[in-house]
Amino acid sequence: MNVHLAIYDTKSSGIASAALELKPEKVILLHGKRHDVEGIKSVLNSRGIVCRSHMVSFEPEQIRTVIQHIFDENKDSNLVFNASCGYRIMVLVALQMFMDNGMESFVVDKFTNTLHWLSPNDRDAIGLGSRLKISEFLKLFSTQILSKGSNFVENHGRQELTHWLIEKIDHFGSALASLNHIAMRADLSLEFHFDKGYSRKSNLMEMLSRFQEQDLLKVFHNKVVFKDEASRFYANGGWLEDHVFMLLHEIQKNRSNISDIAKGLEVVRAKGTVKNEIDVIAMANNRLHIIECKTRRFTKRNNDNTPGSEAVYRLDSLKESLGGSSGKAMLVSYQKLSRYTLERAQDMGVYCCSHNQLKNLKEHLYRFIDSED
């Protein structure tokens, strides 16, 4: 029997990704008292891999005792140590014991999705397949999906509308901000009554006419009426989410490392009550890629309290809390981002594509997915 011993960590998916590739019959997890390992056990069990867990302290002698007991119980098995993650002293003690006993061990590089053998060290590295689904990855770290949007991909008419909005991006920034306001402020009857100031905005009226052609809304002399809640959402920036989602589907045809794509996810961490909404999300190279799409106009103030900076900080938090130490995040904005916001994003490792860059959005998505940063 092939058995993996691993030390659980709330920031790495290396235990699951290695197990799905090497297919051991069993995985034994060592974990601390505060760790919830039910998620990873559920994922591995559902893939036909038995998962057992042992709670241990961080005291070296106890760790040695527990590992020696595992050695004794698995004398007839090929026991291998996955050193990819875990509390450092536990990893070092376990690695020393495995090497002293001439037993196999390996580590998974969380950035390249590559397995490297530590002992014996003359084996070739293994590029791991992209096998984890979004729901499985999130479950590894005790995050549950409450709901998600449809897999609807833009039809031809809406693709043409999106293409038009992006091609005219230099002319319609203000008009789109007004459309966002209209969609956001529409009441429960999906109506928004506007004054003469709105009707004098020629770019806005042209934009409303194009949305009306796609049967998303109707324009009367003093009001806008959305067809339904989905149409209102689409006009309030949902079109950009759908566009990113569609482009990722096209990219997936050329990138087998993309194992899953979703949009409109609502998730909650552990047993908490704070919900987070994710515009678009993808699994590639067993790493979580979070994308936030914005069509609102950002202020140009240079401080951390602007909506642009807040979006960057939120993405930085989400990529760590949901994606672990290998999570990636991207901000896609129809409007221009200030230099301050762009600098903040660079500092935090958040990829940005904004304003005229949207004309080459697919190329930016390729870079985002392909990057090992």
Q: Determine the angle formed by the axes of helices 88-100 and 60-73, rounding to 10 degrees.
A: 40
SS3 229: helix
Q: Determine the angle formed by the axes of helices 307-321 and 339-348, rounding to 10 degrees.
A: 10
Domain edges within the chain: 2-129, 132-373
Residue indicated by tokens 């397995």? 115
Q: With CA atoms as reference, report the closest residue to 236 among 246, 248, 224.
A: 224
**Residue 75 burial by Cβ neighbours in a 10 Å radius (0-12, 13-18, 19+):** exposed
Give how far Cα 23 sits from Cα of 17, 94, 192, 355, Å.
Answer: 10, 21, 57, 45
pLDDT confidence of residue 373: 81
CB 105 within 8 A of CB 98: yes
Strands 258-269 and 143-147: antiparallel
Angstrom distance (rounded) from CA 214 to CA 85: 51
Question: Which residues make Cβ contacts (< 8 Å) with residue 54, sequence separation at least 6?
Answer: 28, 29, 30, 31, 66, 70
pLDDT exceeds cutoff 80 at 308:
no
The tokens describing 369, both together, are 């997915």
Angstrom distance (rounded) from CA 363 to CA 349: 18
Q: Do domains 2-129 and 132-373 have the same CATH topology?
A: no
From the CB of residue 17, how many other CB atoms can be counted at a distance below 10 Å?
26
Angstrom distance (rounded) from CA 223 to CA 125: 63
Give how far Cα 101 sits from Cα of 68, 75, 142, 336, Å.
Answer: 11, 12, 35, 59
Average pLDDT over residues 329-358: 94
What's the CATH fold of domain 132-373? Trna Endonuclease; Chain: A, domain 1 (3.40.1350)
pLDDT confidence of residue 94: 96
362-371 pLDDT per residue, tens: 999 999 999 9
H or E stretch covering 135: helix 134-140
CA–CA–CA angle 128, 134, 136 (5° rounding): 80
The tokens describing 270, both together, are 């552990």
% of the chain at pLDDT higher than 70: 98
Question: Which residues make Cβ contacts (< 8 Å) with residue 49, sequence separation at least 6?
Answer: 19, 20, 23, 24, 25, 26, 27
pLDDT confidence of residue 141: 85
Average pLDDT over residues 252-281: 91
SS3 254: coil
CB 172 within 8 A of CB 207: yes
Q: Look up the pTM and report it.
A: 0.93
Average pLDDT over residues 357-364: 97
H-type alpha helices, 168-267: 173-185, 196-199, 202-213, 229-233, 239-252
pLDDT exceeds cutoff 90 at 119:
yes
Angstrom distance (rounded) from CA 108 to CA 111: 9
**DSSP conformation letters of 80-111:** EEE-SSS-HHHHHHHHHHHHHTT--EEEEETT
**Residue 116: alpha-carbon gap to chain centroid:** 25
The tokens describing 93, both together, are 């003690």
Radius of gyration of the chain (CA): 25
Q: Which range has the worst mean pLDDT, 105-114, 172-181, 276-285, 325-334? A: 172-181
What's the CATH fold of domain 2-129? Rossmann fold (3.40.50)
| Bridge partner residues of 277 (DSSP) | 266
pLDDT exceeds cutoff 70 at 296:
yes
pLDDT confidence of residue 306: 65
Q: Classify residue 77 by its DSSP letter.
A: S
Q: Classify residue 259 by its DSSP letter.
A: E
Q: Classify residue 2 by its DSSP letter.
A: E
pLDDT exceeds cutoff 70 at 303:
no
pLDDT confidence of residue 49: 97
Residue indicated by tokens 């940063």? 373
SS3 180: helix
